[in-house]
Amino acid sequence: MPKTNAEYLHEYRNTYEGLKKYIIDKWQRMGLIETNQYTYDELFDAWLWCPDCENCGVELAPARAPRCSNARCMDHSHKTGIFRNILCNSCNVKRGHYEPDSGKTGE
């Protein structure tokens, strides 16, 4: 029986190039932008190989792990789109609630 498109897509996303394309496309939809300091390729490699949260130091979950408190997140300004840090999901959510540019008060 021939493979379905979904099966091909799943196999492709499990390759380095497939994961890279999927993640960068997601970042672009979220508003993360390239700057003179970092290209998407550089950001992806940093995200993929960063071992620990740059805020609390917790070991980050593998890149393909389901969403959890130590999942990898690209912290960025939602106003400017500029990358700030690679954080665990827990720190990223907390920062989103308390950062001045998030539009939230943290209360």
For the chain, domains (ranges, CATH) are 5-102 (3.40.1800)
pLDDT in tens, 3-39: 898 898 889 888 999 999 999 999 999 899 888 888 9
Counting Cα atoms < 13 Å in the Cβ hemisphere of 20 gives 12
Helix axes 16-30, 5-13, angle to 10 degrees: 90
Per-residue model confidence (pLDDT) at position 90: 92
DSSP state of 96: H
Name residues whose C-beta falls within 8 Å of residue 11's C-beta, 6 or more positions apart in sequence. Answer: 3, 18
Nearest one of 92, 88, 52, 96 to 70, comparing CA atoms: 88
Indicate whether 97 pLDDT > 80.
no
